[in-house]
Amino acid sequence: MYVQDTIVAPATAPGPAAVAIIRLSGPAAIEILRTIWFPVGTQLKPRSVALGDVRDPETNAAIDRALAVIMPAPRSLTGEDVAELHCHGGPYLVRRVLGLALRCGARMAEPGEFSRRAFLNGRMDLTAAEAIADLVAARGESALALALSHLNGGLKLRVGALREALLAVAAHLEAEIDFADEDIALPSRAETAACIDQLRADVAALHDSFARGRLMRSGARAAIIGKPNAGKSSVLNALLGVERAIVTPIPGTTRDVIEDTIHAGPYPLVLQDTAGVRSVTDEVERIGIERTLSHAGEADLLIAVFDSSVSLEPDDLRIIELCRGRAGVALLNKSDLPAAIGIDHLRAHQLTQPVLRVSALRGEGLDRLRAEITAQIEALAGGHQGDTIAISRLRHREALARALQALDDARASIAGHMPPEIIAVDIGLASDALASISGQISTEDVLDRIFRDFCIGK
């Protein structure tokens, strides 16, 4: 399985802080702690905190006063003996204490190695391990809610129930093979097919929840596009509430993509201010426009800005073209100035997005803009549909796609009047694909891929 040596790492972020936690896990964890830490009052008992001195065992020189906790196996984070020192959070101090632990025989942990051991020792399944990483990385309410639902076993239970149902189908097929000559009541082929169809629909629904889960976990991206001087940078600044992008009356001021994050309801929303789209000869501006187009292509939403104080120009028509078939909103900006164009002018060119009148300069119409953007992200997320479970990782989606493929194969086998052995193989593959989500079936390389994205000490 894995080499059961003793690993050590800071569990807290580098840099000066009030406290730094140094975590040890493995057979020598508690012994190492006792070699470098000495109580100054209360003796050390499992799962309670005691105060003491960290000392260099060779010179007996005091290094820090720290709290210590020990959690003997198996009731610990990793399922192994775990010891923690809560030191003062000085970067030099942390290196000194780590150095002592290493000298006493511990090894520096790899990223995610504590969590990996927890998984290998059955302390948590893969969806929970991933949820912990997501909890730490959460940038907003929706990401937090999703991570907590996974941590509480929501996804594991849902996938587990689907797998149970598949195993029941497989068991019936196996019985058919084993007791072919006996007269026992088993589901007809039509009943099995109907059952597979129902399971396929459930697996497909979970597969498709990725759109919502991704938005909940990572948030959405909106590119602010428009011709030069339409007021894109002003819209960004107004939404952010700070002067993030340079605003000038000189067309072509914004050359590179500037981004910052706000919250649209529960979702994190990355706003991207882009270079104005127009025909240019200037090389730098041309590159900026290329970046605009590529960001616009990848964004979840487009915020198309039009200057309502001037007539539509060919550059505006190009923006309308970019909006075709995309989620987003169009803004008639500069509503504080006399209007030269209205909604009708945009609609006349087949712009279908909702149109809002705003003044980025005066901050007017922004509440409606925020509400509209939030509603659109909700729509992209497929609404809540009363279902709180959503997958958020490509790994989950790929596993569910494999399950769907196997179920389709099973249905094709039934349609082709294949023997039960063949159908059972497909059902088995579907079940294995589901089992890989929680890690009931896993391989080293999959585990490597999952845990290497974790931080050291977790």
Interaction site with ligand GDP (CB under 6 A): 226, 228-234, 247-249, 253-254, 276, 333-334, 336-337, 359-361
Residues β-bridged to residue 313: none
Which of the listed partners (Mg ion, ligand GDP, none) does 361 bind, with a CB threshold of 5 to 8 Å by partner kind? ligand GDP
Of 181-210, binders to Mg ion (CB under 5 A) are: none
Which of the listed partners (Mg ion, ligand GDP, none) does 86 bind, with a CB threshold of 5 to 8 Å by partner kind? none
Q: How far is the CB of 244 from Mg ion (least distance, A)?
A: 11
Which of the listed partners (ligand GDP, Mg ion, none) does 161 bind, with a CB threshold of 5 to 8 Å by partner kind? none
Written as one letter, the residue type at 171 is A
Which of the listed partners (ligand GDP, Mg ion, none) does 359 bind, with a CB threshold of 5 to 8 Å by partner kind? ligand GDP
Identity of the residue, 13 or 337, whose beta carbon is nearer to ligand GDP in the bound complex: 337
Burial environment of residue 422 by CB neighbours within 10 A (0 to 12, 13 to 18, 19 or more): middle
233 binds Mg ion (CB under 5 A): yes
Q: Quote the Cα angle for 371-373-375, to 5°.
A: 70
6 binds Mg ion (CB under 5 A): no
- Give helix 126-137 / helix 113-120 axis angle, nearest 10°: 150
Which of the listed partners (ligand GDP, Mg ion, none) does 234 bind, with a CB threshold of 5 to 8 Å by partner kind? ligand GDP
Identity of the residue, 76 or 254, whose beta carbon is nearer to Mg ion in the bound complex: 254
Which of the listed partners (ligand GDP, Mg ion, none) does 293 bind, with a CB threshold of 5 to 8 Å by partner kind? none
Contact with Mg ion (CB under 5 A) among 25, 76, 149, 254: 254
Residues β-bridged to residue 247: none
Q: How far is the CB of 359 from ligand GDP (least distance, A)?
A: 4
Identity of the residue, 6 or 254, whose beta carbon is nearer to ligand GDP in the bound complex: 254
H helices of 44-188, where? 91-103, 113-120, 126-137, 141-151, 154-178
What is d(CA 98, CA 456) in angstroms, rounded to the nearest whole number?
13
What is d(CA 170, CA 207) in angstroms, rounded to the nearest whole number?
22
Closest CA to 221 of 257, 195, 196: 257
Identity of the residue, 217 or 334, whose beta carbon is nearer to ligand GDP in the bound complex: 334
Residue 19 near residue 67, CB atoms below 8 Å: no
Identity of the residue, 233 or 333, whose beta carbon is nearer to Mg ion in the bound complex: 233
Element (H, E) at 30: helix 29-36
Q: Could you list the residues that contact Mg ion (CB under 5 A)? A: 232-233, 254
